[in-house]
Structure 1
């Protein structure tokens, strides 16, 4: 259940874990703005929702500044390492889904915290990270969601990761106090040294040295050269509302495509929660995912035809193709199980909306170097063609 702590008459904090929402609310109460609170939520989720997100993953941000009167996007995803090439997987049909060899992109989330705070925040990183550090060092009641996902995916964890998430060789019970000492130390180093401590200092060295020992491919130069980027969001209108998404390499355009398709149907005459209601939602997503799978790639190397994909006429064609009585085939193979979404609005009218993930639950399953950081496996779906 998403918790919504009340922090004021014009503020909002939502996230998939009540402790992360509380961390954001606390920052607002201390005088921070929506951007400070959003980073507090993001970092807290990295601790209390560790099976779905963490310092070893990525984040995509939409930020509305009341002063600027505009929405900006920040792409907090990481590029593949310098030493990653097809030859690394010679003789293999695909990049492995799990393990240290599936962790081939630099974690971008920590950089995104710095970018958000540097441009729009009021408070120092160390203050914003206080709740995350406290949850990691002092522990928190393990959630039923983490318990279930650990049972489901625990076999994919490396011995180093298993020692963190299955201490003593067993899955902690829901409500049991869960402590992450290595992650607490990493957060302490980050709070003192800022983003460079993660990308150029002790943390990067520990992770990359650990990867080298385990047969992974990311090196310190990959971390040192990483930077996310600010960019203009993409958008579409839905019944008079402007909906924003992060541009590719984000798959957010698929969500806009689905809304464009659904706009062609009269939901006033469709009972909420009915078969027809869910059938149309699912089929619109399938149609947009078919195009997503065909064209989504690195926009720095291949053009993605967003003009055609977001065209209302094309949406009308896709809407007509939906059968009211028959489900289309699945657009693609199901992959990861979840992503963490959160949003913050402050009393000044600033708003932040963001997603962050490890791609699969527990990502690559690898947490090298004793840093307590699980690395994502988003690159495991890169093509070897």
Structure 2
């Protein structure tokens, strides 16, 4: 890991905001420039900006306009759920590189009336007309990332109405109105979004409807350029008038059906009409007096719980942030958790994941014996062998004056999704089906009407039975790794809410995956260290057998709202994104 003489040369293709952050990170965290960390008068070396405080309500999203939409909704009497729906609708317009109503949704809601957490799984199922034999007939060993084959039923709209039916105060038409207004009148495209949009256009323009609805004369909108999507405005208006059935059983569903029939696809009206998400019980584990809550599979959230259980016996605070021990232990715990993730996280309607056992402290003690302080594991077997039976994203958090807090994540999966954009609707269908395994007998094997393994996971932390933190960190397999790192930063290393997100991150890549060909890790994988880890740590990791590399950009996106013990809320927003935390 050699430092460039000019740090800007390492980031030639990144948008200016990301290049600036990279240069700042080098300045702040390079041992040669350590004195610059004191330039921030608070002495909080890892924070790019201050936490946000507000007495009544807070919103944190990856787009400033969506944050303002959420605040406007709550100021007009809406609940935190109303605000989350409104912000999500706005983000589908403003950040189509990460989400939209063609994707799925998961949420955790703290209800101050019942003083209880409620979990919602809004993932859609595979088309019933598509079979494993069809992939085999086409000679495919993996489900392709784009086009009609990876498309599954989009669950976001149904999720909105499920959440609204239980916790909403305003009408859905009122909640969708800000997104509709911005879709018609236009809004300026932000920097990071413009960067990823530009990357998606050459890949997805081959699919029918994408170029017509998501480019300007065949190119992506530029930074600061006004973007409009009147087709999406019409779709959202129809949903506001006709409810969830306007999407799943009305003209929108019929348009989707005809589009896929004409384009070698399998998604049908019947698949949409049969869709229903479900309320689920969150699963928690205690980490040094703080309980992290995640949703059970088919998502990957419990991997974060497994990582924390494995790390709890170690005194990370004594080792210190960025030490070889800190990084090594985290990576080794991740490998063990992800081995189980690959083996047994799947749709519970098709496979019984042993959740209680996987997240137990006893299981962690047993599995933890495999961690060596001296050597990196090259191959890891799952701790529970299942019986064989024949992820770009947005995250947002909202909190209202009544104490309701929402943790919501929504995604089209890979970037802008499948590229399949039915005519006149203004959205792209997700490609979440790519996460199935084309291997008969595997828990996550493709089957008709099945929910794929899901990467997107909301998180929530309680302390002494009270709400403490609503947060998430988007980004494929980085998500459970990021959830664990955020809590470790807060609890073990004493960082504040903004510091915990800005601190340089660890990503281990190369574990056996629950998707694709399901190839087992046999080389220990790769450790990506974000700029900020000293060369002494890198050398020590290499001596333990880790393969350490530099990777530009895979470290996820974080938003968070914490309860302020003095009253109100504290907010933080990801410095690697375009977003904002704000309140009133």
- What is the TM-score normalised by the length of structure 2? 0.62
Deviation digits for residues 192-236 of structure 1, max 9, x if unmatched? 111111011111111221111111111111111111111211111
Shift of 1:8: 4.6
Preserved CA contact (<8 Å) 1:211 1:369: no
The equivalences for 1:184-203 within 5 A come to: 184-203=233-252
- Aligned equivalent of 1:101: 149
Deviation digits for residues 282-328 of structure 1, max 9, x if unmatched? 44333212211111111112111112211112223444434445554
Preserved CA contact (<8 Å) 1:3 1:18: no
Equivalent residue for 2:107, pick from 41, 45, 61: 61
- Aligned equivalent of 2:60: 14
Equivalent residue for 1:126, pick from 173, 178, 184: 173
Preserved CA contact (<8 Å) 2:149 2:433: no
1:23 lines up with 2:69 in the alignment: yes
3-state DSSP of counterpart to 2:408? strand
Equivalent residue for 2:330, pick from 255, 273, 281: 281
> Number of matched residues?
380
Shift of 1:264: 2.2
Preserved CA contact (<8 Å) 1:58 1:108: yes
Cα separation, 1, equivalents of 2:322 and 2:394: 24
Preserved CA contact (<8 Å) 1:5 1:12: no
- Aligned equivalent of 1:209: 258
The answer for unaligned runs of 5 or more in structure 2 is 1-16, 18-47, 381-390, 441-584
Q: 1:283 to 1:141 in 2, by over 3 A?
A: farther
Deviation digits for residues 158-190 of structure 1, max 9, x if unmatched? 242133332212222111111112111111111
- Aligned equivalent of 1:268: 317
Cα separation, 2, equivalents of 1:330 and 1:346: 46
Equivalent residue for 2:162, pick from 110, 115, 119: 115
Deviation digits for residues 81-118 of structure 1, max 9, x if unmatched? 22121232223222222112221x21000000000111
Cα separation, 1, equivalents of 2:377 and 2:114: 44
Cα separation, 1, equivalents of 2:250 and 2:49: 36
The answer for unaligned runs of 5 or more in structure 1 is none
Structure with more of its chain in helix, by fraction? 1
Cα RMSD after superposing both structures: 2.3
Cα separation, 2, equivalents of 1:174 and 1:135: 17
Cα separation, 1, equivalents of 2:185 and 2:418: 26
Larger radius of gyration: 2
The equivalences for 1:304-319 within 5 A come to: 304-319=353-368
Deviation digits for residues 44-82 of structure 1, max 9, x if unmatched? 111111111100000111111111111111111111122
The equivalences for 1:156-171 within 5 A come to: 156-157=203-204, 158-171=207-220
Q: 1:316 to 1:121 in 2, by over 3 A?
A: same
Q: 1:235 to 1:306 in 2, by over 3 A?
A: same
- Aligned equivalent of 2:426: 372
Preserved CA contact (<8 Å) 2:80 2:406: yes
Shift of 1:269: 1.2
3-state DSSP of counterpart to 1:101? coil
Q: 1:280 to 1:179 in 2, by over 3 A?
A: farther
Cα separation, 2, equivalents of 1:4 and 1:101: 45
Preserved CA contact (<8 Å) 2:208 2:422: no
Q: 1:121 to 1:208 in 2, by over 3 A?
A: same
Q: 1:328 to 1:30 in 2, by over 3 A?
A: farther
- Aligned equivalent of 2:190: 143
Shift of 1:33: 1.2
Q: 1:186 to 1:301 in 2, by over 3 A?
A: same
Preserved CA contact (<8 Å) 2:201 2:219: no
Shift of 1:272: 2.5
3-state DSSP of counterpart to 1:355? strand
1:46 lines up with 2:95 in the alignment: no
3-state DSSP of counterpart to 1:167? coil
Equivalent residue for 2:401, pick from 347, 359, 365: 347
Equivalent residue for 1:382, pick from 422, 436, 439: 436
Cα separation, 2, equivalents of 1:179 and 1:7: 33
Cα separation, 1, equivalents of 2:364 and 2:174: 46
- Give the structure, 1 or 2, with the largest relative contact order (CA under 8 Å, sep 6 or more): 1
Equivalent residue for 1:231, pick from 268, 280, 299: 280
Q: 1:275 to 1:48 in 2, by over 3 A?
A: farther
Shift of 1:263: 1.7
Preserved CA contact (<8 Å) 1:136 1:180: yes
Cα separation, 2, equivalents of 1:3 and 1:118: 37
Q: 1:85 to 1:166 in 2, by over 3 A?
A: same
